[in-house]
Structures are given as structure tokens and as C-alpha cells.
């Protein structure tokens, strides 16, 4: 971290639409605010399980509100999240574990691709409504993000290695240690302590806390 810059960590999972919103806003603000943004791919399923959280859409009134909320936020932030009622079932029916292991493998080997790759996973799942759980889908996402076939294949093979599995587990555990119970979890290291902000609608507050 360069002198006087605030380290801001974004713990995210590509299955989470609010993570996409938070990701895009922080990617924009990293050029405006005096921050070093660190992308931390983690596993939402693990966070939910270990903290005993339940998917918010399981409460019908909340699901109804979330649909409107995500539409409004997508429009406000100009992010192409296209959400419909059936998407809640789609989230529950899709495991993001393979995708997040792949993102983790790229983070460990070719971090310059982390931002475009993560974005393409969200694009595929949330904009194009296509699957992201099968190896062929994951390779298609990687191609879209500009990764070579060789690099993608190597990363795909790494997803079954203990190194990658452990790294994803450790990152997920770290998010929980900071107090995360869902995604996105944004942690700003300011004044010698970590400040946790949950969700993509607390970013003005984040700015205020770190003096931006």
C-alpha cells in the first residue's frame, strides 16, 4: 500500500448481484479516491453456512423489494444487472464454488486478469442469464475476459488443487473474521483498524469514514 492510501478490501462472489454493483462502484472510485482496492474472491455459500445466514429472498416481501431495489441500483450505477423473479431460484440452484475457485486460481497466478474476469462472470450470469458452474462455461468466460486458452486450461486444472481450495477457504474465513455475514463485504483499513461495510449501498458512508 502506497503512503497515505487507504487499503480497501472487497470480498465478493460472482453469484451475488449486489457484489457486482459494489465491485463496479469501487473499481470506478479507485481512480478518484486515495485508496488501494484489493479484490478478494470468497465463497458466499461458505459465509452463509458458517454464519447461519439465510438467502434474503426467502422472505417473500423482501424478495419483492429486492427486485425493485436491484433494478433501481442497476440503473443508477449503470451496471447491466437484469433481474427477474426467477433469478432467486437460479441463484439457489447454482453453485459458484467452481467459478470462485477459478477466479482464485487467476488471482494467485495472473492477478492482472482478476478485474476483467470477475466482471465477465457477472456479465454472463446476471446480464446474459447463462450458466457459470460448468467447466465449459468457465472457459468461455475466461476467453471473453481475454485469457489465453493455455492460461485458462492451467487455471481450470488448478481449481482441484489443495492450494487453490485452501486459498478460497482462507479468504472466506478472513471475511467472516472481519464480521461478514453476506456479500459484498467491504473492509476499509483506516486509523489502524478494519471497518466493515456490508452491501453496495454503504459506499458514501465508506467515503465519509476514510475522509473522502
Tell me if 212 sits within 8 A of 33, measured CB to CB: yes
16 is catalytic: yes
Return phi, psi of residue 61, to 5°. -65, -35
Beta strand spans in the chain (E): 6-12, 35-41, 185-190, 193-198
The grid coordinates of residue 168 equal 478460497
Tell me if 47 sits within 8 A of 180, measured CB to CB: yes
Catalytic residue among 2, 16, 96, 148: 16
Degrees to nearest 5, angle at CA 193 with 15 and 21: 25
Cis peptide before 184 (omega within 30 of 0): yes
d(CA 173, CA 167): 10
Q: Would you name the residues annotated as active-site residues?
A: 16
Amino acid at each position: 500500500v502506497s503512503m497515505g492510501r487507504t487499503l480497501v478490501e472487497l470480498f465478493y462472489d460472482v453469484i451475488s448481484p449486489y457484489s457486482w454493483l459494489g465491485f463496479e462502484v469501487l473499481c470506478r472510485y479507485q481512480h478518484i479516491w486515495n485508496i488501494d482496492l484489493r479484490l478478494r474472491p470468497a465463497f458466499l455459500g461458505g459465509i452463509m453456512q458458517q454464519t447461519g445466514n439465510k438467502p434474503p429472498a426467502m422472505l417473500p416481501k423482501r424478495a419483492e423489494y429486492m427486485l425493485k431495489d436491484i433494478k433501481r441500483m442497476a440503473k443508477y450505477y449503470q451496471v447491466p444487472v437484469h433481474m427477474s423473479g426467477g433469478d432467486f431460484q437460479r441463484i439457489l440452484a447454482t453453485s459458484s464454488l467452481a467459478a470462485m475457485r477459478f477466479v482464485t486460481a487467476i488471482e494467485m497466478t495472473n492477478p492482472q486478469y482478476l478485474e476483467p474476469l470477475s466482471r465477465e462472470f457477472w456479465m454472463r450470469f446476471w446480464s446474459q442469464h447463462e450458466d457459470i458452474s460448468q467447466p465449459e462455461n468457465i472457459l468461455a468466460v475466461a476467453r471473453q475476459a481475454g485469457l489465453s486458452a493455455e492460461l485458462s486450461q492451467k487455471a481450470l486444472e488448478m481449481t482441484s488443487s489443495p492450494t487453490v481450495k485452501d486459498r478460497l477457504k482462507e479468504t472466506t474465513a478472513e471475511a467472516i473474521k472481519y464480521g461478514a455475514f453476506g456479500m459484498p463485504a467491504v473492509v476499509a483499513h483506516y486509523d489502524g483498524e478494519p471497518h466493515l461495510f456490508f452491501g453496495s449501498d454503504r459506499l458514501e458512508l465508506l467515503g465519509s469514514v476514510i475522509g473522502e
